[in-house]
Each structure stands twice: as structure tokens, then as C-alpha cells.
Structure 1
Amino acid sequence: MARGGSRTVARSARTGRFVRSSTAVRSPRTTTTERVGRGTSNTRIVNRSASTGRFVTAAAAARHPGTTITQRV
């Protein structure tokens, strides 16, 4: 385990399910890599583009559900 009990996982932006890291490498526009576990506060909800990694508004996330993710940070 890396750094304080947290680890890196890959998630599909379309389904929200966890995927293998090899899948994330093959499909960078529709998958995201994030850190989970101890050391992450998970108190605030944010929306992020899966292809660019940039934060987007809730309206943009609603318009593009297949390429955005909603996560707690």
C-alpha cells in the first residue's frame, strides 16, 4: 500500500465501476485514476472531466454524463 494506507484505483466514467489499470491506459478519455483510502477526507462533492481531469460545473456534468465523474474529495 502506498502512503498512509491509500491506494490508486481506476474507474470508468461511463459506468462508475472500478476497472483494471490496463483498461485505464487503453481508454484515457473515459476512465479516471483516483486515490482512495485513508488520508482522503471525502467531505466535498466535485465534478471532473474524465478526459482532461479538470473540474466542471454540475450543469456540465449533467450534459455529459458519459465523460464526467462525480467524486468526493
Structure 2
Amino acid sequence: MARRSVHRSAKTGRFVPKSTVARWPGKTTTEQVGSGTSNHRPVYRSAATGRFVTPGHGKGNPSGTIRQWV
């Protein structure tokens, strides 16, 4: 499977179109999916910066972070 970009809402975790990312860049995140992802451990990312954050920060700020499995 080739790698591709997908966009998610930080609040709901649902997939959103690229136009939503342009309107609310701090509330959405873009991820790369495809080969190379094993989906066996959870990690948290800031929706505003895309950087990894601690699990405590991720759980304490669910509308501003994304939980994903890598």
C-alpha cells in the first residue's frame, strides 16, 4: 500500500476534508498512512503543531490532541 495523507479532527478523531484543515489548522492534523505503520501502540500528537506530546497531556486536552496507533 502506498503512503498517503489523511486529515482528522482533533476533537472527534474523524476524517475531514482538506478544506476543513485550511479553515481550522489548530483543530485538525494531517497524518501519513500506509506501509510502515504497525498500529500496536498509542501515541498522542498536538493538533496545532503535529508534535508528539505525553499521554498525560493528550488525555488532559482531548480537543487539542490526536491519539493514533503506530
TM superposition score normalised by structure 2: 0.87
Partner of 2:5: 8
SS where residue 18 of structure 1 aligns? coil
Q: Alignment RMSD, CA only?
A: 1.3
Which consecutive segments of 4 or more residues in structure 1 shift more than 6 A? none
Contact 1:61 1:68 in 2 (8 A): yes
Structure 2 gap ranges (5+): none
Bigger Rg, which one: 1
Give the structure with the larger helix fraction: 2
Q: How many residues align?
A: 70
Give the structure with the larger strand fraction: 1
Which deviates more, 42-51 or 60-69? 42-51
